[in-house]
Structure 1
């Protein structure tokens, strides 16, 4: 019997309690065993050097060393791929949780999530500024993803309870939670800028948001000439805007403020081309291609998976646009 056939024969049924137990505990067990058997290789040379070490270095604002192994702040190829793999692996669990709450996957839910995503980007900017003190480590990648996810999960659960009692809808609940959090975080950053000697570059968020809105508007206008009705779907518009806001903040930062792209891939493209707008163009092309595919596949693809894919495109770009705009506005 082949390995693949043996695995299929011994695996529990998809969706069963045993399957979900394996889904949740499998990675933990694999990593735990690997840590015991190969502690130096797994922790020192992988977890520390590429995952946790950069978080500590970011909080300390300088390179850090553990067992002679140096870790530097920021993204690298290993943690970028690892974080992406973790997001993809979490999607089945997220879908099951949302299905258990009987959540309706529509544009209202996506826009309800948007303030929480903005809040996450603003909190990351507050950490960059140095305002979070001993709690800074909670708002550095990847820790911040766990914090934002935990708050979102709790808001969803609370929204489901409120909906079942006829009070408010789930999108209204998570929208309210996210709005309070986002307003507080952005307000803190503005208060810091107004009460210190920092020169506020108010034009930065105005320009970056304006560029993203302008190009999204051009996309919306152009989509009207194409016989693919879902190109104007609200969720795809959010995805386009989120990614272009990130591209716009990179364009402004590189062209006018001597910044460089933070992500590994976008920085490689910038270093290879020397073009300040390379990140913006790359995001425009890649996001445009993905959006076209999703619009074309809307009728054939499972609705829940389509919704999750479309939403995550915007959710990846939107907080980075917020973070970059706030950082540059405050000169960090």
Structure 2
């Protein structure tokens, strides 16, 4: 196998693998539409996106129509799908993610990017943009629930629903990165990181402006300014306390990540605080109801806390606060893992993984914060 890759080149083998897989799936869907498209692609990949877009608990395939399971009943319909992930969908998404990461590594080599740490900070606005963009779909689902019409119709709205939104944001960031490098090498800017950060900031600003416009003009959204204020202040204080504790008691933990460690902790603190506020204290800050956890880990932690602690304690502290502790512990562990040797041996791969780590925390955290901020 190594001889084969060396002979034809790793990039060509990667491209041929991707092309072959796409061809197999596409040809199978054309030749066997019921078995390949309806009972596999639709049921496990597109159906969950359709259900999520409509805020349905279940969507059914009914002779080519995609209808709520409650509407069509349980007889005479094809497969059904629910929002979220299954073992089958994970079996498809994980290899796809691996192939994508390999492709990113090849691309970074081709582009010859330097100043990796600056690239990390320049991509920070895109991580916020991804979470904000997901809230656009939350507002879209709220519009459908209220008016029966979507502001953004399928299939376009599917591009901003998990997991497709990760690919959408990735390709947008990739386009911005290539454009920024072109501007740098043409001498229009003094470094690619400046226009790259500018692209991300502009996209984030436009997305939040759209959500603010919806909140100001539509009945299904409202603006609750205390939500982002409390979450951002809480996350920043949590980060400051954690960072000070590391500096005093274990400074060796952050010799590899350096100032990037602050971003890692803050990103996961935002996710943790947003969950605590949204799940337990949203009504205290003006929302008509507390949010419902969207991810199984959040839900499991909240339910376990409620089961273990006495009811009178939970009424005072809420049940989501252990999630914040878990997120901070995970962030500190990540900082410890990424020591000096990781960045010295493979700086390109280390920065790529660091970006992924921050995105995993900041994307969901930004979404939860903005969902509560705009009441969707």
TM-score, normalisation: structure 2? 0.77
Who is 2:16 aligned against?
A: 22
Q: Is the 8 A contact 1:116 1:178 kept in 2?
A: yes
Query: Is 1:192 the equivalent of 2:217?
Result: no
> Which residue number corresponds to residue 83 of structure 2?
73
Counterpart of 1:4? none
Structure 2 Cα separation of the partners of residues 300 and 30 of structure 1: 41
Corresponding residue for residue 152 of structure 2: 133
Superposed counterparts of 1:148-163, under 5 Å: 148-163=169-184
Q: Distance in 1 between matches of 2:209 and 2:159?
A: 20
8 Å CA contact retained: 2:276, 2:323: yes
Distance (whole Å) between structure 1 residues aligned to residue 345 and residue 105 of structure 2: 15
Secondary structure, aligned partner of 1:104: coil
* Cα separation, partners in 2 of 1:174 and 1:105, compared to 1, 3 Å: same
2:111 to 96, 101, 111: 101
2:197 is matched with which residue? 175
Say which is worse superposed, 81-90 or 271-280, in terms of deviation: 81-90
Unmatched segments (≥5 aa) in structure 1: 1-6
Alpha-carbon displacement from aligned partner over 1:75-132 (angstroms, at most 9, x marks no partner) = 5565467545533432221122122112124332112112122222112111111274
Q: 1:58: how far off?
A: 1.7
Given candidates 161, 166, 186, the residue that maps to 1:145 is 166
Give the Å deviation of 1:147: 1.9
Q: CA deviation at 1:49?
A: 2.8
Cα distance in 2 for partners of 1:23, 1:303 equals: 27
Cα deviation digits, residues 172-193 of structure 1 (max 9, x gap): 1211111111111111212322
| Deviations, residues 210-256 of structure 1 (Å, cap 9, x unaligned) | 22211111122122122414266222222221122112111111112
Q: 2:218 aligned with 1:206, yes or no?
A: no
For the structure 1 residues 262 and 278, does the alpha-carbon distance in structure 2 shift closer, same or farther, using more than 3 Å as the test? farther
Cα gap change, 1:296/1:107 in structure 2, threshold over 3 Å: closer, same or farther? closer
Work out the CA distance in 2 between the residues paired with 1:328 and 1:47.
Answer: 33
The separation in 2 between residues aligned to 1:37 and 1:277, in whole angstroms, is 52
Is the 1:243–1:313 Cα contact (8 Å) retained in structure 2? no
Greater displacement, 269-278 / 182-191 = 269-278
1:291-330 paired onto structure 2 within 5 Å: 291-295=335-339, 297-298=341-342, 301-330=345-374
1:117 aligned residue: 127
Alignment of 1:253-292 (within 5 A): 253-257=278-282, 258-274=290-306, 275-292=319-336
Aligned 8 A contact 1:249 1:324 in 2: yes
Where 1:66 maps in the other structure, the secondary structure is: strand
**What TM-score results when the alignment is normalised by the length of structure 1?**
0.86
The answer to whether the Cα contact below 8 Å between 1:13 and 1:19 also exists between their aligned partners in 2 is no
Q: What residue in structure 2 maps to residue 61 of structure 1?
A: 55
Which is greater in Rg?
Answer: 2
The 10-residue stretch of structure 1 (25-34 or 285-294) with the greater mean CA deviation from structure 2: 25-34
1:298 shift after superposition:
3.3
* 1: CA distance, partners of 2:87 / 2:303: 15
Cα 1:299/1:152, change in 2 over 3 Å: closer
Residues 236-245 or 66-75, more deviating: 66-75
> 1:278 & 1:38 partners in 2: Cα distance?
48
Q: Render the CA deviation track for 1:25-73: whole Å, top value 9, x for unaligned.
A: 3543554577579866654454323321111112222231126222122
Asked if the contact 2:343/2:350 (under 8 Å) is kept, the reply is: no
C-alpha RMSD of matched pairs (Å)? 2.7
Quick check: 1:116–1:179 contact (8 Å CA) kept in 2? yes
On the 8 A contact 2:256/2:341 being kept in 1, the answer is no
Farther off after superposition, 145-154 or 268-277:
268-277
How many pairs are equivalent? 326
Q: Compute the displacement of 1:10 (Å).
A: 4.4
